[in-house]
Structure formats: structure tokens, C-alpha cells
Amino acid sequence: MSVARLKKLSLVGPAAQKGDTLEALQALGCMHVLPLAPPPAEPEKISERGARNAYKALRFLTDVPEPRRQIQRDPAFEMDQLVRDVLDLMQRIRDMTDRRDFLADRIAQVRPWGDLDFPPTDVLAGNRLWFYQLPLKHRDALSGINLPWAILQEDHRYIYAVLIAPDDPGDDILPVPRTHTGSLPIHELEAQLEEAEIAIEALEAERVAQTRYLTLMRRNLSSAESAAELAHATQKVRDAEAMFALQGWVPEDRIEAVLDMAKSKDAAVLIEEPGPDDNPPTLLEQPEDRSAAVDLALFYQVPGYKDWDPSIIVAASFAFFFAMIVADAGYGAVILLGLLAFWKRMGKTPSERSWRRYGVIISGATIIYGVLVGSYFGASPAEGTVWAKLKILDLNNFGAMMMISIVVGVLHLVLANALAARAAWGQRRAVANLGWIGALIGGFILWLSYMKDGSMLPGSGVLAAGVLAIVLFSSERVVRKPIDWLWRLIDGLQSLAGAMGAFGDVLSYMRLFALGLASASLAITFNDLAVSVMQAMKGPGILFGLLILIVGHILNFALAMMSGVVHGLRLNYIEFFKWGLPDEGIVFRPFARKEVQE
């Protein structure tokens, strides 16, 4: 697997052939289109990637619990029209639901004052009614008002009073703001509420009727997505008089196909190599059966176009880290059994089959590491057995396990810098990456020498050589005058601030030992607790002991899975990518038709 080499392709053709050319280019599905025209000023006119409206309409109809019998064939079926009708129905249901909720809330607010028929304004000589919900403790506030007032209702908490005045009395006339009741009596509000509920039922019936087209919608989603992609790409095309221009990135091995298509459409093509100021997207080439590794690598960060493909390294190191964190052969066997239970369900697409195979790798690595540390659901193998002979690591040997974790950390970061140096070979930063390798190895040797009272000279020499390379080659500053040499040196000295980061990153790998020890210790604790209960309580103790074992190991298994995934990925995405892939790239998004969904 590798990062595909791309070329910038500019295509110019007659405006009359614009639609046909774009459709042909979409059929090829090999160009990452670049915008040559500014987006529309109105946001609502911007065409987005993907058929969002179609998926929104599909989800709206799929939520119906009992859909109608499906229509399998309908020559007059139009996907766009159905999507518009469903979205319109969705909006009408939302509007009517909002009105129903408003009416219900207004009725609840007005009910304490009773079902009042509001008199016309001329009957009250231009006065109006103003309603207040006053706490009982503020009863005396009513006596200080110069306006006519009356208490209509009273309960154990509030007084429901009404004031008569031609204008709003203001917020300061009583200690509470007035209540907005509107001008309609309760019986009128209830009648409108009933009408709203009937309307919602009718709209829901219309929604149920629309569900008969769910099958046809699913079949035509690919067409909707292709149309959305075409509209999105069309807005990136530059139109000038009778010509149009389109530009994008195309893999080198697809250039000939694009040239043949352009020739058939009477279009001119300009092919360019990526320039120093260009930022091409990243396309990782890999067989379909290895797509799981690519998905894992691209989950957090896309490598730059000039970087290297981290897929295999990330996939392998994650499986290794996961195994060290779980640290139990029994749990690895559970993962494998669960995978086998869903084996057929995970074989519908190449991507699912790839993840299925990767699951086997992860479970296999966990089983192997669990055998090496001699942990089987927290139990150790009996002395003299084959399994006991295979136990070569002791989780309780803190010194040895810490040493292994640090060695893993140093090797992982050394590999990251080595691959980064290879990708940047011929540039100054490649030597700086080699300097960090020397600093990591030299520091590790120096630490070993200190621990074993050995000579400090070898480690110090390697460390000094690495630091010198970092100082001299970290800066990419262009030298135009003598003072720039001094600035280069200052930049190099500043880069040494990363030494503390390197030290902390190496120590981060100690979580492999700590989490593995925690998982094993918790499993042993549950085992000991279950045995103690069985021995203390004869008869029912067996039942309680089995319950402790089952619940305890399920809990520990869940924690181990979560820790293995989170921290296994973290060591790759944070520590490893920091040193091996400092630059983030752009995902290659091909302008392509979507496959027909059956």
C-alpha cells in the first residue's frame, strides 16, 4: 500500500458539452474536483455533497412503526418529486405539532382563571383585562393598587387576579409580571386544539401512506446521491462565454482514461505535476481486503500527500497494544467466539470481510499474549503443564514489564522518525528525524547504563550526536544573509524543547503495562471473591460464586475492551503520528457515481 501519485488536470471544453463531459467524468470516478468558481452568495443555493434531503426523507418514513405494503414497480415513480413531497409533509407535521403544543400550553395557562368570554372593548369603555398569577405571600400588594381588580380563583399557592385598565399597567405594579392569556376563551382554544389533533392524525395517515414507496426510495438512493454529486461538482466549474473550465487531481494511472474521454468531448486538457505551493489530496492505494487498515489509519488523521502510508504500521501496532492491555487468553478467546458467531453477517461487502479478518488478527494476538503472560480469565496454569511452560512473562514482575513497555515505546517512536526521515529524504528535516532517533536510542542506552552501573560513554555519545543533528538540521529557514545562519541555530535550539515531549511520549507507553496489570488483577480479584463465597456458604454459595464470576468478568471484559481500543489507538494517533506524520493532509474525494443499491 502507498500514497497514490497524482497530477493536476485542467480541462477546457465547449459549453454545449459541459453536461455530457461532467457526466462522463463522473462515470470515470477518478477526479478530485477543485473549485474554479466562487460558491453562490446565498447559502441555500449551495449544492452539498450527498443526497441529504433524500436520506432525511427516508429516515422520516422509516420511523413509521407499521409501514404499508411496498410497491415494487412504478413506471411513474420520480425520486426527486417524492423527496419534495415527503419533506413538505414533514414540515406540515412539524408546524401543526407546534400549534398543538402552543394551544395546550395556552389552555394550561388560562385554565386557573376559568372559561371567560372576553367582552368587547366598547363594553368596558376602552378598558382591558390584565391577568396576574400572584403568590399568596404577596396578597397585600393588591390593596395598594389604584386600579379596579378582582380575584377570580385562589389555591394553596397562588391568587389568580385580574386588573382593569385601558393600557398595560407595567411590570412594576405587582411583584410578578402579568400572564399572557390571549383573547380567546378556553372553549375556543379547546376547539382549536381538537382541530389541530385531527389535522395531525390526517397528516400521520398521509405519512403512513407514503411508506409504500420505501423500497423504491432505497433503490434510487444511489441515483439521488449521484445527482447531488453532479450538482456539487457543477458549481465548481468556471463558465466563460461559450467555454467551461474544470480542474482537479487525478491518479497517474487514470490519466489516459481521462484523456480519451476529453478527446471524445472535444475538450482540451492540460496536465501538470504538483507544484511547491500545491496541496494535493491523499489517496491511499490498497487492496479491498485491507480496507480495515486504511479505515483505522484515516480515522484520526489523513497523512499528507508527501508523507507515507501508515496503514499497516497502525494496524499491526494497534493489535499488539490491544493484546498487551487486555492481557488475557480467555478474553481473546471470547472475542474470537463472538467474531465467529457473526462471521456470515460480516461477509456481505469487501470492507466487512476486511474487518472480519482484522478481528481474527486482534483476537489471535490477544490469545497469544495471554498465553505468554499465563492468564486465562485471571487464572494461572498449573505447574508442570504445557501452558505453564509457555508462560515467559510475569505481569507481577514490575521491573521487567516496565522495561518491556519502555522498549516498545522507544522502538515505536524510532520507527515513526525513521519512516518520516525516509519520506522527507533529501530535505534538512530528514536529518533532524535521524537526530531524534539518535536522541531516543542514546537516552535509552544512557538509562540502561545508569540502572546497571555501566559506562555512560556509549549512550552519551549517541545522545550528543542526535542532539547536534537536531540543532543543526531542524530549521527549514532559507539563508539569504549571514544573520540567517544565526536564526537557523536559534530555531534548532528551540526544537530541543521537544525533548521533554519525547520523554513524556516514551513514558506514555507504560500504560500498556499498567492497564494490562489492572485487567489481570481485577480478574484475579473476582476469582478469589467467588471462591471465598463458595467456601463460606455451602449450597447457595455455589450460585452466588458463579454469579460473581459471570458479572465480574463481564464487567472486567468490558473495561478491558474499552481500555484496549481507546489507549491502543491513542498511542498510535497521538504519540506515533506526532513524530511520524506531523503534517495533516486532505482526503481524496473522487467525483464519481454511486453504486446502485439493491
Pair (169, 31) in one structural domain: no
Tally of CB atoms within 10 A around 160 = 19
Query: Which amino acid is present at 54?
Result: A
Per-position b or e across 535-569, b if 16+ CB within 10 A of its CB: eeeeeebeebbeebbeebbeebbeebbebbeebbb
In a domain, 327, yes or no: yes
Higher pLDDT, 495 or 530: 530
Tally of CB atoms within 10 A around 437 = 23
206-223 pLDDT, tens digit per residue, is 999 999 998 888 888 887
Asked if 288 contacts 296 with a C-beta cutoff of 8 angstroms, the reply is no
Pair (169, 191) in one structural domain: no
Pair (62, 152) in one structural domain: no
Helices (DSSP H) in 300-349: which residue ranges? 311-326, 329-341
Q: What is the mean pLDDT of residues 110-138?
A: 78
Give residue 175's Cα distance to chain centre.
50
Q: Please give the residue range of the domain that contains residue 152.
A: 119-182
Pair (324, 448) in one structural domain: yes
Query: How far, in Å, CA of 391 to CA of 373, rounded?
Result: 5
Pair (9, 59) in one structural domain: no
Run of H or E residues at 34: strand 32-34
For residue 262, the domain's CATH number is: 3.30.70.120
Residue carrying the nine cell digits 505551493: 277
Run of H or E residues at 12: strand 6-14
Q: In this predicted structure, which of 17-26, 463-472, 525-534, 589-598 has the lowest mean pLDDT?
A: 589-598
3-class SS string, 105-120: HHHHHHHHHCCCCCCC
CA triple 269-270-272, angle to 5 deg: 145
CA pseudo-torsion sign 464, 465, 466, 469: positive
CA triple 275-280-283, angle to 5 deg: 140
Strands 6-14 and 32-34: unpaired
362-399 pLDDT, tens digit per residue, is 999 999 999 999 999 988 888 888 888 899 988 888 88
Residue carrying the nine cell digits 411583584: 175
Pair (350, 325) in one structural domain: yes
Nine cell digits for residue 487: 536564526
CA distance to 66, 201, 208, 214, 224, per residue, from 69 (Å): 9, 20, 10, 10, 23
Would the pLDDT of 94 be above 90?
A: yes
Give residue 422's Cα distance to chain centre.
31
Q: Which band of pLDDT confidence, cut at 50, 70 and 90, is reported for residue 301?
A: confident
Pair (95, 192) in one structural domain: yes
Q: What is the mean pLDDT of residues 43-63?
A: 76
Would the pLDDT of 133 be above 60?
A: yes
Query: How far, in Å, CA of 472 to CA of 488, rounded?
Result: 8
In a domain, 591, yes or no: no
Number of alpha helices (DSSP H) and beta strands (DSSP E) in the chain: 20, 10
- The residues, ordered by sequence, that sit 6+ positions from 202 with a Cβ below 8 Å of its Cβ are none
In a domain, 524, yes or no: yes
- What pLDDT, on the 0 to 100 scale, is given for residue 596? 46
- What pLDDT, on the 0 to 100 scale, is given for residue 481? 72
173-193 pLDDT, tens digit per residue, is 888 888 877 777 888 888 999
Asked if 292 contacts 351 with a C-beta cutoff of 8 angstroms, the reply is yes
236-292 pLDDT, tens digit per residue, is 899 888 899 999 999 999 999 999 999 998 899 999 999 888 889 988 877 777 788
- What pLDDT, on the 0 to 100 scale, is given for residue 404? 92
Helix (H, G, I), strand (E, B) or coil at 272: strand
Q: Which band of pLDDT confidence, cut at 50, 70 and 90, is reported for residue 429?
A: confident
Query: How far, in Å, CA of 340 to CA of 297, rounded?
Result: 25
DSSP letter assigned to residue 597: P
Phi and psi for 67 in degrees, rounded to 5? -70, 160
458-502 pLDDT, tens digit per residue, is 888 888 998 888 888 877 776 677 776 677 777 777 777 778 888
DSSP letter assigned to residue 327: -
Query: How far, in Å, CA of 265 to CA of 34, rounded?
Result: 20
Phi and psi for 570 in degrees, rounded to 5? -60, -40
In a domain, 587, yes or no: no
Q: Which band of pLDDT confidence, cut at 50, 70 and 90, is reported for residue 300?
A: confident
142-157 pLDDT, tens digit per residue, is 887 888 888 888 888 8
In a domain, 528, yes or no: yes
Asked if 586 contacts 552 with a C-beta cutoff of 8 angstroms, the reply is no
Pair (142, 216) in one structural domain: no
In a domain, 540, yes or no: yes
Q: Which of 98-102, 151-155, 225-229, 385-389 has the highest mean pLDDT?
A: 98-102
Pair (177, 320) in one structural domain: no
Tally of CB atoms within 10 A around 237 = 19
Pair (353, 483) in one structural domain: yes
Comparing CA positions, the residue from 392, 353, 358, 349 lying closest to residue 373 is 392
Nine cell digits for residue 317: 501496532
- What pLDDT, on the 0 to 100 scale, is given for residue 60? 92
Pair (6, 101) in one structural domain: no
In a domain, 454, yes or no: yes
Averaged pLDDT of the chain = 86
Pair (168, 209) in one structural domain: no
Tally of CB atoms within 10 A around 29 = 14
In a domain, 343, yes or no: yes
Asked if 39 contacts 46 with a C-beta cutoff of 8 angstroms, the reply is yes
Q: Which band of pLDDT confidence, cut at 50, 70 and 90, is reported for residue 598?
A: very low
Would the pLDDT of 597 be above 50?
A: no
Q: Which band of pLDDT confidence, cut at 50, 70 and 90, is reported for residue 50?
A: low
Comparing CA positions, the residue from 575, 316, 282, 288 lying closest to residue 423 is 282
- What pLDDT, on the 0 to 100 scale, is given for residue 493? 77
Q: What is the mean pLDDT of residues 335-340?
A: 94
| Total tally of structural domains belonging to the chain | 4
